[in-house]
Structure 1
């Protein structure tokens, strides 16, 4: 179609009408493109499909007692026809070394429980690989209109998840509940997704060699054309770079993708627009460096062996295409000898990706030399930052919460407010801005600041929640009866925390003796409450959802319409809708003890959590954790070099660049989030595109348009007669409009100059990769607390003073710093 500069409204009107009648689907163009660059955030998982459902497959609780153990878990496809559109691992690389998802006609075993396995599918039936994950890779999102078809109409009637555990579990370790979360839809997808796996099983890698090539090459058997949109590489510790190529009639090698197997082993976007046709040669090269190893290394299934895999994810025709192909070993030495000279050149170093893959701590760093001022403060109850980035600290001065602070009815045993200042304000450099709050508070605990810089405070001795407007020193809203604990709608009992929505509604964590969350409107009228004490455990060794054992902290994920709660005594996070509907709980096994405080960072879409000792274990390693808000996967841990001693609360600045932690030992820490971490998952490849109906797009000046050849290939099965009809219908209005436009311009300008311009405009739909990972192991719960007995008195405990298995073959086989 011709595009003209300043094209007249007549042209647009006539063409729109013509296209509406000429094209199927009410005039939607049968083409669209999508970007293959990873989503800049590794933590967000989203989908634009309205009818999506979630299907989870998890290990029921396994505890391998041998190294290099493989366990499988099967699940029958629940309906006749489903399409998988997203994959997310609920696992952590330090526990699950890799995960494979197989599509089987029949599983190797029909056990309802997990079984130790060398094979996932019945070897007498057909099988395929649908997904692979390792090294803390983020979620994989396939393009719209593309899906992995499973169900009765296919050979995939069972999903079998296989997990390799490189290390045996200690006898004291909790069992593992790692798994996969699949986004599925009943809506039939226009294109079939598939995996093309290149693998080698017989090569040996000599010791002391710097660049050993292992090549694989096969002709594509057809029949339907393939459109690659993502790739993944997999090797053990010797693997340096893996590259995949295709060669067509021109005898030119075209790069499909090039990856570093020491990075998160995700599906990264393909480099260029490619169409793979029957007879084209496909090849992959793994390059190993064994210069530091004396022994010979074999391809095999243990972490002492090596492996070489290149996965190509593609889409193809939904009726004539196949969803799985394999190319094992090298079928053409002559061809692979001509692979590009830079095929074995490593990618540039990327410390962030390497750290994510290995779980290292680089994203959050301690701010050295902070604060500038010498601070004289007491036990820190709460902290929050205002819009200027100033940190407000709510502390207890010389008052200590001890055994005799409350009686058995939770009534405070004092009769005077704290005579010293209890609120300290510091600027971003740690200089004192002001101090106030003397003779007002009895036992400070929670502090929050809303978007209008109003302060919200809780006093566990007063059993009250209060709001102090920006710039004021006296509250303009007070809820609760002073010094009177209770459990009805007008009383609190040691309320712990407050979180405020932008519209003024707020949530109270009530808290130490009442196991509930209370939702109020902006005037303080109760809208809803939910929660009850934890009294029993479920099959997963945790109490039921919406029950609590000391509700200690609450945070809002307003962009997600969620509220998340630190269920301190039960050692877990619980997340709810804003209306109180339970959504999920998170309790990674690496986080021991009580969950003391949680805060959401909206600019990074992550949760920050601090843990602390509980009544049954004083030797907890106290740390800060960065978590995926959807899965609870640990993205990073952070703490001072000697760790925290008594962390109690945390705060995040409004721009998301700093984290503050306050301790009961009167210590305040500041951590900065590096620029690398702010940028999230980096783009490791150039932008690319592929054919995909129905809208065209452009992204940041990069041409993402579909090659005419790809467009024709996508639509080549349409009848020639239909094409003629559409063409005829389009020609008449085009010619007519061109003639009218030429006439108008000639009369106005008297010239044909600058009449035509071939500039186009497109819109982009993205292919996303995102993180990680949850190992859903569990622990028991502690009794309901009526005092702060995690420390018994919040101060008592001061005195108590590389490699990876072959996936494919093994599966088939002071305070002044």
Structure 2
């Protein structure tokens, strides 16, 4: 671990009931009461836990196609982003569906062609033109104003701004590596000082905008940022995906070395204050990562990291099946 802050891993935090199973924790979020919510794959549902890892409830059966992102709003309602269904759904704390943004099963036309040939870097290179919501939407954040900002990344290259009622206000973004352009906007968070931070995953950067979508700056000391969370101090927590040796980004070319998954904590100005987990030999050990995909922080500054080890690791042949349960870790802040 490097940086001024330190964290200890809390092994076996999640006490999952024996009748349930998941292969991935695609999304993780903490509610205003410090309850922890997981959006999972395989059972494709939401699990809810107390802060100590005690299981409380589960809901969402038969709703989701490809669960991807999870956000708990200040009022306790839960937003689930489904990249396979091209929708954002808002639920009550008991799982009652309150709102759907987007048309289930209908993607906007960007030219995106999933699995069409062998990509040079990533399938997002088939996105030809930006479009409206949604095509493979990824994550959502609630701004202090109450507006919703949705990263629309797998089949698009945009951020969409909505009112709390789901009315589209504006969209921004284009295909590319320039300011305000994206190759897979994947994670997103709004800060108290009125900024929107977007994890531009396959460009290896975090782009910073104001609430109107005006580009401010980029943070580039990051690799494949998948999710972002901000705490009460303004610290920004980022989960970063493994980039295997021989694969490439749009901005840095092909990596000659293995770049394991990790977590980085930035101060509000974009300087690194903590970083951990980048092990090439002990990916499945407590405190290290296979495929960090989601991150959240609670009121005490403790950090929760969800991983898509099943799909990104085991199914792709990158790690052996015995690492398949390496999906969720809690880190307790010690300094």
Indicate conservation of the 8 Å contact 2:9/2:287, yes or no. Answer: no
Indicate conservation of the 8 Å contact 1:424/1:435, yes or no. Answer: yes
Which of 595, 599, 613 aligns to 2:242? It is: 613
Q: What is residue 143 of structure 2 aligned with on the other side?
A: 501
1:643 aligns with 2:276: no
Indicate conservation of the 8 Å contact 2:90/2:100, yes or no. Answer: yes
SS of the aligned residue for 1:466 comes to strand
Indicate conservation of the 8 Å contact 2:44/2:67, yes or no. Answer: no
Distance 1:389 1:467, change over 3 A: same
Q: What is residue 310 of structure 1 aligned with on the other side?
A: none
Indicate conservation of the 8 Å contact 2:137/2:151, yes or no. Answer: yes
SS of the aligned residue for 2:203 comes to coil
Q: What is residue 233 of structure 2 aligned with on the other side?
A: 604
Q: Distance in 2 between matches of 1:435 and 1:598?
A: 24
Across the two proteins, how many residue pairs are aligned to each other? 286
Distance 1:552 1:794, change over 3 A: farther
1:447 aligns with 2:65: no
Distance 1:613 1:388, change over 3 A: same
Please show how residues 674-753 of structure 1 align to structure 2 within 5 Å.
Answer: none
Q: What is residue 365 of structure 1 aligned with on the other side?
A: 8
Q: Distance in 2 between matches of 1:366 and 1:797?
A: 26
Please show how residues 30-41 of structure 1 align to structure 2 within 5 Å.
Answer: none
Q: 1:86-132, CA deviations, whole angstroms, 9 ceiling, x for partnerless residues?
A: xxxxxxxxxxxxxxxxxxxxxxxxxxxxxxxxxxxxxxxxxxxxxxx
1:565 aligns with 2:198: yes
Q: Distance in 1 between matches of 2:263 and 2:229?
A: 11
Please show how residues 272-291 of structure 1 align to structure 2 within 5 Å.
Answer: none
Q: 1:158-204, CA deviations, whole angstroms, 9 ceiling, x for partnerless residues?
A: xxxxxxxxxxxxxxxxxxxxxxxxxxxxxxxxxxxxxxxxxxxxxxx
1:634 aligns with 2:249: no
Distance 1:520 1:605, change over 3 A: same
Indicate conservation of the 8 Å contact 1:479/1:490, yes or no. Answer: no
Indicate conservation of the 8 Å contact 2:228/2:237, yes or no. Answer: yes
Indicate conservation of the 8 Å contact 1:505/1:521, yes or no. Answer: yes
Indicate conservation of the 8 Å contact 2:108/2:133, yes or no. Answer: yes
Q: What is residue 796 of structure 1 aligned with on the other side?
A: 316
Please show how residues 528-677 of structure 1 align to structure 2 within 5 Å.
Answer: 528-534=170-176, 543-558=177-192, 560-588=193-221, 591=222, 593-601=223-231, 603-614=232-243, 615-616=247-248, 617=255, 619-630=258-269, 632-639=270-277, 641=286, 643-653=288-298, 655-665=299-309
Indicate conservation of the 8 Å contact 1:480/1:490, yes or no. Answer: no
Q: Distance in 2 between matches of 1:470 and 1:436?
A: 10
SS of the aligned residue for 2:216 comes to strand
1:380 aligns with 2:25: yes
Q: Distance in 1 between matches of 2:6 and 2:48?
A: 27
Distance 1:369 1:461, change over 3 A: closer
Displacement after TM superposition at 1:604 (Å): 2.1
Displacement after TM superposition at 1:660 (Å): 0.3
Larger radius of gyration: 1
Q: What is residue 510 of structure 1 aligned with on the other side?
A: 152
Q: Distance in 1 between matches of 2:3 and 2:233?
A: 18
Displacement after TM superposition at 1:521 (Å): 1.0
Q: 1:577-621, CA deviations, whole angstroms, 9 ceiling, x for partnerless residues?
A: 001111110012xx4x411111111x2221111211244358212
Q: Distance in 1 between matches of 2:314 and 2:66?
A: 12
| Larger fraction in helix | 1
Q: Which moved more, 1:370-379 or 1:563-572?
A: 370-379
TM-score (norm 1): 0.33
Q: Distance in 2 between matches of 1:641 and 1:380?
A: 16
Q: Which moved more, 1:440-449 or 1:640-649?
A: 640-649
Please show how residues 242-321 of structure 1 align to structure 2 within 5 Å.
Answer: none
Displacement after TM superposition at 1:516 (Å): 0.5
Residue ranges of structure 2 left out of the alignment (5+ in a row): 110-129, 249-254, 278-284, 330-335
SS of the aligned residue for 1:798 comes to coil
Q: What is residue 81 of structure 2 aligned with on the other side?
A: 458
Indicate conservation of the 8 Å contact 1:421/1:435, yes or no. Answer: no
Distance 1:376 1:800, change over 3 A: closer
Q: Distance in 2 between matches of 1:661 and 1:580?
A: 28
Distance 1:423 1:470, change over 3 A: closer
Displacement after TM superposition at 1:470 (Å): 3.5
| Larger fraction in strand | 2
Displacement after TM superposition at 1:798 (Å): 3.0
Aligned alpha-carbon RMSD (Å): 2.7
Q: What is residue 102 of structure 2 aligned with on the other side?
A: 480
Residue ranges of structure 1 left out of the alignment (5+ in a row): 1-354, 398-419, 535-542, 667-787, 802-813
Displacement after TM superposition at 1:469 (Å): 2.9
Q: 1:441-466, CA deviations, whole angstroms, 9 ceiling, x for partnerless residues?
A: 11111110100011111111111111
Displacement after TM superposition at 1:360 (Å): 5.1
Q: Distance in 1 between matches of 2:93 and 2:286?
A: 37
Q: Distance in 1 between matches of 2:15 and 2:320?
A: 31
Q: Distance in 1 between matches of 2:317 and 2:5?
A: 31
Indicate conservation of the 8 Å contact 1:361/1:637, yes or no. Answer: no
Q: Distance in 2 between matches of 1:366 and 1:396?
A: 24
Q: Distance in 2 between matches of 1:454 and 1:598?
A: 19
Q: Distance in 2 between matches of 1:578 and 1:502?
A: 10
Displacement after TM superposition at 1:367 (Å): 2.0
Q: Distance in 2 between matches of 1:490 and 1:595?
A: 23
Displacement after TM superposition at 1:421 (Å): 5.5
Indicate conservation of the 8 Å contact 1:552/1:597, yes or no. Answer: yes
Q: 1:375-406, CA deviations, whole angstroms, 9 ceiling, x for partnerless residues?
A: 72222221111111111100112xxxxxxxxx
Indicate conservation of the 8 Å contact 1:442/1:459, yes or no. Answer: yes
Q: What is residue 468 of structure 1 aligned with on the other side?
A: 91
